[in-house]
Amino acid sequence: MTQELNRKLSIAPMMDHTDRHFRYFLRLISEHVLLYTEMATTGAILHGDREQHLGYSEREHPLALQLGGSDPVELAQCAVIAEDMGYDEINLNVGCPSKRVQNGRFGACLMAEPGLVAECVAAMSGRVQIPVTIKTRTGIDNRDSYAELTTFIDTVCSTGCHTFIVHARKAWLNGLSPKENRTVPPLQYETVYQLKKDYPDLEIIINGGFTGREQILAQFPYVDGVMIGRVAYQDPYLLAGMDQALFGSTNPVPTRQEILQEFKTYAARHVRRGTYLSHMTRHILGLFQGRPGARAFRRVLSDNAHKPGVGTDLIEKAAACVRSG
């Protein structure tokens, strides 16, 4: 059995954001925050380029794989592959509302089929030793009563699933885009707090709408952990000091310049392997958010990283804008 993960703070799975380069970058800021991959579908893993979808650096641990799918057999096969590759957790996506995901019969639409979700979790848990967790919403469409949510929780936790990450908004499967579903349905923090009161033996992680350090820290009297999403992309240095505040670390907080130097070394290694610099530097544009020179830092990287033959010295050039600003 793997060591119990500390989920006090985690970074949400975000398509086109939480790839291996961004995860490595975040690990330079925080040693302990739990990182999640982008959602990978069972079909992509079983029939696609496995290294492309699942490859990662050992430094990224603790690291969880989020799976998209609804076939228990395929999900179990993918869970075994993920465990063999060293992932620390498997998370089933029961929260994404996009049409593409719905057409594949997974994501948030699975909230309407708690029995199937339970089958999926049981199939995965029966094949692996690492934890299997659920990321879900408070409800879907007009099926958003607290009773319906607890029916879902009761059904799924009967399989032994212990950890539920709850995006504190319901999802509209029709009429709203995935982007609108992240902002339009009202936040329901009290619903998630009530879940923790009613299920004290479950690990309840809250997700949705957190934009600042104090707001994040204020959640801990009510829930077991906080998952943050786009704020970590827009202002990644928000994580600096969280190891000390939440995980008991006594290591010094890295400076932005120290982080940048380490990332430059990482980027140089991948450029030599054929990775485009822009595929990596796009993830670090927010490092100096709110600091003098931040706009110039972003502009230097955005305007030049895609150019043929550009090297990691561009990162030094961008950093100089901040030092001089």
User: Position of tokens 């990596």?
Assistant: 280
Q: Which residues pair with 225 in a beta bridge?
A: 205
Q: What is the dihedral of CA 228, 230, 233, 239, to 10 degrees?
A: -20
User: Position of tokens 């089929």?
Assistant: 113
User: Position of tokens 């060591």?
Assistant: 3
What is the Cα–Cα distance from 212 to 274, expressed in whole angstroms? 37
Compute the residue count for the chain: 325
> What one-character DSSP code corresponds to residue 223?
-
Greatest Cα pair distance in the chain? 59
Q: Which residue is catalytic, options 96, 109, 161, 321?
A: 96
Whether residue 49 contacts residue 81, with contact meaning beta carbons closer than 8 Å, is answered with no
| 3-class DSSP assignment, residue 73 | helix
User: Position of tokens 């600042």?
Assistant: 212
Whether residue 109 contacts residue 65, with contact meaning beta carbons closer than 8 Å, is answered with no
Q: List the one residue out of 115, 121, 52, 127 whose CA is nearest residue 84.
A: 127
157 is catalytic: no
What residues act catalytically?
Answer: 96
